[in-house]
Amino acid sequence: MLKGKSILITGGTGSFGKKFVEMTLKQHPGVERLVIYSRDELKQYEMNQIFSSREYPQIRYFIGDVRDRDRLIRAFEGIDTVIHAAALKQVPACEYNPFEAVKTNIMGAQNVIEAAIASGVKQVVALSTDKAAAPINLYGATKLCSDKLFTAANLFRGKRDLNFSVVRYGNVMGSRGSVIPFFLNERRKGIIPITDEKMTRFNISLEDGVNLVYFAIQHMWGGEIFVPKIPSYRITELAEAIAPNCRIEHVGVRPGEKIHEEMITETDALNTVEFDKYFVIMPSYPTWDLEKYVKTYNGKPCPQGFRYNSGENSDWLSVDQIREMVRLHVDPGFIVE
C-alpha cells in the first residue's frame, strides 16, 4: 500500500505522528520517505532520538507551521500522501485563545489544501474529532469547518489526480492531554476529579487510529468522512478501573464540554452509509457515483433518526477491559493501587 510512496505528516511530533511513524517503519518498510512537519524544534530533536534519520534514512524532519502556506508548498515537493494531524486541540486553550485556534485549525487547513493542489500531491487525509459533530466549543467548531474545507476541496482540484478525505474518531487512549494519563497522575494524590457521573466517551487506541488512516489511504474516493465503530466507556468506570481506592471529587462540567460525545448526528445520518466496521458520511457534492460506492463496499444507508454518540453506543468497555487496554496502550507497568 505504501511501497515507494513519500508521506508527510503535519503535526508529526504529536502522539499520532509518533505512532504513525513507528507503525509505518515496522509494517511498511518499503515507504520511500516519511517527512515530519512541525513547528517545534525541541520535539523534533527528541523524536530524532527515537527515530534517527541516520538509522532510518527515509525519515526527514522539516520545521514549519501550517499557518505558512509557502513553507507547506516547499515541504510538499515530491510528496504523494499528506496526513494532516496538526491542530490546536485543547478545549480550554482554544476557548481562551479563539483566533489562534482559527488560524491553525481553519486557515491552516486551507493552506494544506492549496499547497497540496500546487505541489502535485496525490492524497490528503485529514484527522478530525468527535467534537466536530454538533460542536459546542470552539475547537469542535474549527474542526467542523476544517472537515468542510477538506471534503469540498475535491470540487476545485481541477483535473489533478488528487483526493481529499477525512477520518473522524473519538478520544485516543494515552494521547497528550487526554483523561487516562490525567487520571494516572491524579491517583497519586488520592483524589480523582470527575466532571459529571453521567459522562461517557468514545475510546480508540493510537494503533487503531493509525490503522483507520491506512484504511482511508487505501479506500478513499475523495470527500468521505470515515467514522469507525468503536466502544464507549463511562467516566465513573474509567475512574474505577484506574483508581478504585481514590476519593471521587465532583468538579462540574467544564466550559465547552459535552456529557456524551457524538460522531454522527441525526442530520448527518441522512447522508451516512453503514459498512461492516465503519460508517462513511458522504460528501454533499460527490464527484463520483454514490450508488456505485455503496455497492462496491457492500454498505447500507443509515435509518432515519439514527445517530452515533457515546451515550447510546451498543459497545461498552468493562472495568477489566479498560485496565487491560491501559496496560496494552498506555502504561505496560500499570497496576491497580
- Please identify every residue annotated as catalytic: 131
**Entry field: residues in the chain:** 337
Residues paired with residue 225 on neighbouring β-strands, in sequence order: 166, 281
* CA separation for the pair 144, 151 (Å, rounded): 11
Cα gap 315→233, rounded to integer Å: 9
**Cα-flanking dihedrals φ and ψ of residue 164, to 5°?**
-120, 130
77 phi, psi to nearest 5 deg? -60, 125
Q: Is the dihedral of CA 83, 89, 94, 95 positive or negative?
A: positive
* C-alpha closest to that of 32 among 73, 75, 80: 80
Q: How far apart are CA 265 and CA 124, in angstroms?
A: 24
Single-letter code of the amino acid located at 59: I
Q: For residues 311 and 326, what is the distance between their CA atoms, to the nearest angstrom?
A: 21
